[in-house]
Amino acid sequence: MSNRRTFIQRAMALGATIFAAPNIFATQHQHSSHPQTSGKSGAPPHSTSQSISVHTPDVADLPFRLDNGVKEFHLIAEPVKQEVIPGRVLNLWGFNGSAPGPTIQINQGDRVRIIVDNHLPEPFSMHWHGFEIPHEMDGAPGTSQDPIKPGDRFVYEFTLHQEGTFFYHSHMAMQEMMGMLGGFIMHPKQAYQPHVDKDFLILLQEYAVLPNNAVPNSMNMEFNWLTFNGKVGPATTPLIVRLGDRVRIRLVNLGMDHHPIHLHGHTFATTGTEAGRQPQTIWGTGNTVLVGVAQARDIEFIANNPGDWMVHCHLPHHMMNAMSSVVGRMTRGRAGLPAGAGMEEGMGIIREGNATSEDNGPSLGRGMGVGATMDERTTNGPLSTNKAQTLMPEMQHGENSGTQHGQMQMEPEVAVDANRVPGFPQDAYMEGPMMAMDQMVDKPENYGLKRGWSQFMQGMMTFVRVLPPDKYDEITSRIQQKRPNQKSMPDMEHHEHGS
Ligand SMILES: [Cu+2]
């Protein structure tokens, strides 16, 4: 939760301009025109006239202050360090300390003011994607406004008459690929029917980061870090729901790829797009929804099937971490690079000069030259048990920082003649006991998962944990013990806009 902590610290540092209130809806409770429903006494857990607040796992909500009836938010565009998985911190660009930036939640009809400060080293402009607002507020650089220069501020202000799942993002294309996205939920005046018990937001992003590097190559068109809310499996935080809950998951995609998001064990309806709620007559049912670039999709289902169900992008490479063309040799450290060059040269990683220059050319793996000859003999995957044991000390002190060495087991899981089978290895080097890191990603939401679960979670993968009441209560109490301010509990109503 270092992101949340950083975010709160940041909010505190801004002093009186922003409430660092853990419960951002406190203000609305006070201002609700329906005080009879805001207390817990006598009121049903949630009346159908209210929307519940949206929970963005692993991402903070952006607090606001009320200024004469205007909800005022403060966003800072800045370089951030985003830990996508324990030990792997990427240098991204985001907002208020994280990428994606904090989620904004407002009520349909609200007047909002968003103060945007540019702490980036270059100009930037903020776009409110799909908002029907005055042109001068659209954030299109060069037309609706001049870009915000480094160190400058632009104040956006508009009244929002729409409802649904929206988002904000930099309108400088390459900055989008550095992480500059955030969720923007517009709660409807009249709560959607049927009422949902849980409402989640997942933002889909992707980065191309070569091994030994921490900065995305935004010009690359192949991506090897695929994130849900800035995390990759198994560091993504599962969605916790109670058996029988009606659940909404809002999906937003901003990247270079479309993502077919698949849910196990349930059939859902697609109830919303980036244009808001769709008429029930056209809700399609499915278990996989294609979330195209710049699109949002809301899906809803009754969680009537108990279990820890995967929800994930179904593109095979999007269920992987750190994919790169010679990833197997990378994980074998020096032993896998017999051609006399280091892994950086092999991957074309540059420290100086040009990646394709004579000195730094990717001579291994991809090249056709002499240097590639030795490469051909090196397997991509698990070595023989003997060889592996010889290499263990080296691996444990090597670059393999995403692996929990304490849990490493090298018992052979593959057939004795595996290396004779054309195509081997495939998943054997990406998944298996060596990749397990249950303890490193331990958190209340993971409590009770099958031991070793983390070895098969990578990229855009998380769980919807459909829990019977006793297990549900156990986990929610653990969450509250650890994070008492978490406001994902069902009693956090999002009240209607006063009317
Ligand atoms: Cu995908």
pLDDT, residue 486, reads: 60
Indicate the pairing of strand 198-207 with strand 225-228: antiparallel
CA of 86 to the centre of ligand 1 (A): 21
Protein residues near ligand 1, an ion, with CB under 5 A: 259, 313, 315, 318
Those residues whose C-beta lies under 8 Å from the C-beta of residue 307, and which sit 6 or more positions away, are 265, 465, 466
pLDDT, residue 389, reads: 56
pLDDT digits (tens, 9 = 90+) for 445-459: 999 999 999 989 999
Between 350 and 269, name the one with better pLDDT. 269
40 CB-side CA count, 13 A: 3
Those residues whose C-beta lies under 8 Å from the C-beta of residue 325, and which sit 6 or more positions away, are 365, 366
pLDDT digits (tens, 9 = 90+) for 71-81: 999 999 999 99
Average pLDDT of 214-221? 88
Between 57 and 495, name the one with better pLDDT. 57
> How many CB atoms within 10 Å of residue 338?
15
Cα gap 282→416, rounded to integer Å: 53
Average pLDDT of 27-38? 34
pLDDT, residue 187, reads: 97
Cα gap 234→435, rounded to integer Å: 10
pLDDT, residue 227, reads: 97
Residue pair 71/112 in contact by the 8 Å Cβ criterion:
yes
CA of 177 to the centre of ligand 1 (A): 15
Long-range contacts at 449-457 (CB < 8 A, ≥ 24 apart): 449/308, 450/308, 453/234, 453/308, 454/233, 454/234, 455/431, 456/431, 457/233, 457/234, 457/236
> How many CB atoms within 10 Å of residue 113?
17
Encoding tokens for residue 270? Answer: 């697609």
CA of 64 to the centre of ligand 1 (A): 33
Cα gap 60→255, rounded to integer Å: 21
Confidence of residue 419 (pLDDT cuts 50, 70, 90): confident
Residue pair 64/46 in contact by the 8 Å Cβ criterion:
no
CA of 228 to the centre of ligand 1 (A): 10
CA of 253 to the centre of ligand 1 (A): 9
pLDDT, residue 220, reads: 83
CA of 301 to the centre of ligand 1 (A): 21
- Residue ranges of the chain that CATH labels 2.60.40.420: 2-319+476-494
Confidence of residue 405 (pLDDT cuts 50, 70, 90): very low
> pLDDT > 90: what percent of the chain?
59
pLDDT, residue 121, reads: 96
CA of 186 to the centre of ligand 1 (A): 26
- Grouping H, G, I as helix, E, B as strand and the rest as coil, residue 47 is coil
226-265 burial, b at 16+ Cβ within 10 Å, e below that, comes to bbbbbbbbbbbbbbbbbbebbbbbbbbbbbebbbebbbeb
Element (H, E) at 36: helix 35-38
pLDDT, residue 172, reads: 93
Q: Which amino acid is at 251?
A: L
CA of 66 to the centre of ligand 1 (A): 39
CA of 263 to the centre of ligand 1 (A): 13
CA of 315 to the centre of ligand 1 (A): 5
374-378, 411-415, 438-442, range with the lowest pLDDT: 374-378
CA of 223 to the centre of ligand 1 (A): 10
CA of 311 to the centre of ligand 1 (A): 12
CA of 313 to the centre of ligand 1 (A): 5
27-36, 58-67, 165-174, 221-230, range with the lowest pLDDT: 27-36
Q: Is the pLDDT of residue 401 over 80?
A: no
Closest CA to 239 of 491, 455, 393, 465: 465
CA of 462 to the centre of ligand 1 (A): 13
- Grouping H, G, I as helix, E, B as strand and the rest as coil, residue 328 is helix
> pLDDT > 70: what percent of the chain?
68
Q: Is the pLDDT of residue 346 over 80?
A: no
DSSP state of 305: S
111 CB-side CA count, 13 A: 6
pLDDT digits (tens, 9 = 90+) for 306-325: 999 999 999 999 998 887 65
Indicate the pairing of strand 239-242 with strand 461-467: parallel
Closest CA to 255 of 88, 62, 460: 460
For domain 2-319+476-494, which architecture applies?
A: Sandwich (2.60)
pLDDT, residue 323, reads: 74
> How many CB atoms within 10 Å of residue 136?
12
CA of 173 to the centre of ligand 1 (A): 19
Closest CA to 166 of 117, 114, 121, 218: 114
What are 368's strand-pairing partners? none
